[in-house]
Amino acid sequence: MTLYGLLAFCAVYALAVASPGPGVAAVVARSLARGTQGAPAFIAGFVVGDLVWFVVAATGLAAIAQTAQPVILALKYAGAAYLLYLAFRLWTAPPRSSEASAMEPSQTSSRLFLGSLALTLGNPKTMVFFLALLPTVVDLMQLTVTGFLEIAVAIAIVLPLVLGGYVLAGARARQFFRSTRAIRWLNRGTGTAMAGAAAAVAASWALGVRR
């Protein structure tokens, strides 16, 4: 794969990752609520999920994936259910300062990882990129093993950088909320955004979206 082709993929992929969607909503909401706590495991789930979809697209399994509608449907609703769970946790969480939240035990790394992985595997935005947009950027028919590995490494670098930026921005924004009242409304606002993202994931199937 040429350097120009790899850079073009990185640019398009970075824009796709940074664009609003259920994954970005989950990262922003969680970082507003918990700061950087648990962020590495949470982002790792997104990375693995994107790598799975890349393998599906690059190995010619896209047609099979598109026909496995019951599995895709289950993944979509699993991701939506996870977002609703996070939204519920945010709505019911007692308001605490950012310092106090940092000292609290968070969800286990495995739960955070599996939650974001399920969300990514059922995320319509991710499916559209890898099954529809990726072939317009990368000639998958001519992709060599070296090119495959180069793109996989690029995904493992670009995605954490982009989502990590959202995490840091959310954690920094949380520092401005000091009063109990402000933190309560912050939690509920981010919880509402999370629930909205869950509804978007679930509704995509009902509206006839086939990713």
Q: Is 64 exposed, middle or buried (0-12, 13-18, 19+ CB in 10 A)?
A: exposed
What is the full per-residue pLDDT of the chain (211 aa) written as tens digits?
A: 788 889 999 999 999 999 878 888 888 878 877 778 889 999 999 999 999 999 988 887 655 555 556 666 676 677 677 777 777 776 776 655 444 444 344 567 888 898 888 888 878 788 888 888 888 888 888 888 999 999 999 999 999 999 999 999 888 877 766 556 666 666 667 677 667 766 766 665 554 444 3
What's the pLDDT at 101?
A: 47
pLDDT of 99 reads 46
- DSSP string of 132-176, one letter each residue: IIHHHHS-GGG--HHHHHHHHHHHHHHHHHHHHHHHHHHHHHHTT
User: What pLDDT score was predicted for residue 197?
Assistant: 67
Residue 68 has a pLDDT of 57
